[in-house]
Amino acid sequence: MDVESLMSERVTLAIDGHVAIVTLNRPDKKNAVDAGMFEALTRAGERIAANIAVRAVVLHGAGGNFCAGIDIAAFQGSDTGVASLERMRPQAQSPANFYQRAAYVWQELPVPVIAAIEGYCFGAGLQIAAGADIRHAHADARLSIMEIKWGLVPDMAISVTLRDVMPVDRVRELAYTGRIVSGLEAQQLGMVTAVEDKPFESACELAAEIAAKSPHAIRAIKQLTSKAWWQSAAEALETEARLQSGLMGSYNQQEAVNANLGGRKAAYRDPDT
């Protein structure tokens, strides 16, 4: 396994076969996010996007917690004025700003991202997890859209990420109150995909299963579910047909057929770009 530390080990990125494992790595602070971690999360996403061999991603926190939210002490008096305003503007390569990108970069990746949630998942941490395609949580995990506690709105791409997975009235209730919910209730509300005794292990197993499928088809499915759900009927149907046409008759599509008919493991090729 190749392990890379980013931004003074705020985040580590490990590549295990075709699976990237991204770890929020401030366990002494319950992985609370400071400016360095914001930057390191975005950098990790960009490194993964540039690695055509990666077919799935697992996103988790070190030390038994996903992320306790913003490290308030780290930002007090240090992130105000012109620099702060500049960070609120969209970045050149993304519609997301500096803070939003730490969560939105997982949506921008062409491959699936699975978040493994244990312990605290508050505020910024919840929004980072919301950027994943799939979320596995421990039943006793504690999750909250907590920004109201500080008189703020949740502003790390939640308006894009949670609209895909939760009814707006449930998001409003949680955002209005800052109420803390368990992993089990989060699943009932639709925020969490599955409740698992060992979320990290189950996320890694799912990532390995996905990575064993045709990478071109997996990427096309992410495109389809990211775009078509918000298009008109005519546009969505055109998107389906266009993506399918690009797969039919390709090497990996033929390999999927031949491997299934031959009862063997498929040998897929990675995308060219």
Question: Could you tell me if 124 and 98 are in contact, meaning their C-beta atoms sit under 8 angstroms apart?
Answer: no
Question: Could you tell me if 108 and 48 are in contact, meaning their C-beta atoms sit under 8 angstroms apart?
Answer: no
How high is the pLDDT of residue 94? 87
How high is the pLDDT of residue 88? 76
Edge-to-edge order in the sheet of strand 120-122:
120-122, 142-144, 181-182
Q: Which long-range contacts (CB under 8 A, 24 or more apart) does 189-192 make?
A: 190/165, 190/166, 191/130, 191/135, 191/143, 191/162, 191/165, 191/166, 192/117, 192/135, 192/136, 192/137, 192/143
Question: Could you tell me if 31 and 68 are in contact, meaning their C-beta atoms sit under 8 angstroms apart?
Answer: yes
What is the residue range of 231's domain? 215-262
CATH of residue 256: 1.10.12.10
Q: Are residues 253 and 199 in the same domain?
A: no
Q: Are residues 41 and 142 in the same domain?
A: yes
Q: Are residues 237 and 207 in the same domain?
A: no
CATH of residue 49: 3.90.226.10
132 in any annotated domain: yes
Q: Are residues 164 and 183 in the same domain?
A: yes
Q: Are residues 241 and 189 in the same domain?
A: no
Going by C-alpha positions, the residue among 189, 134, 127, 187 that lies closest to residue 161 is 127
Q: Are residues 157 and 229 in the same domain?
A: no
Q: Are residues 86 and 99 in the same domain?
A: yes
DSSP H or E stretch at residue 40: helix 35-49
The backbone torsions φ and ψ at residue 187, rounded to the nearest 5 degrees and listed phi first, read -65, -40
Q: Are residues 108 and 182 in the same domain?
A: yes
100 in any annotated domain: yes
220 in any annotated domain: yes
Q: Are residues 178 and 206 in the same domain?
A: yes
119 in any annotated domain: yes
How high is the pLDDT of residue 82? 47
How high is the pLDDT of residue 21? 98
271 in any annotated domain: no
Tens-of-pLDDT digits for all 273 residues of the chain?
A: 666 665 558 999 999 999 999 999 999 999 999 999 999 999 999 999 999 999 999 999 999 999 999 998 766 655 554 456 677 777 778 898 999 999 999 999 999 999 999 999 999 999 999 999 999 999 999 999 999 999 999 999 999 999 989 999 999 999 999 999 999 999 999 999 999 999 999 999 999 999 999 999 999 999 999 999 889 999 999 999 999 999 999 999 999 999 999 999 999 999 986
Classify strands 11-16 and 19-24 as parallel, antiparallel or unpaired: antiparallel
270 in any annotated domain: no
269 in any annotated domain: no
Which tokens in the block code for residue 130? 């919301």
Q: Are residues 45 and 90 in the same domain?
A: yes
Dist. CA 1–CA 155, nearest whole Å = 35
Q: Are residues 109 and 230 in the same domain?
A: no
The DSSP result for 117-181, as a single string, is E-SEEETHHHHHHHTSSEEEE-TT-EEE--GGGGT----SSHHHHGGGTS-HHHHHHHHHH---E
How high is the pLDDT of residue 87? 78
This prediction has a pTM of 0.92
Q: How many domains does the chain have?
A: 2
172 in any annotated domain: yes
Query: Side-chain half-sphere of 57: how many Cα atoms within 13 Å?
Result: 30
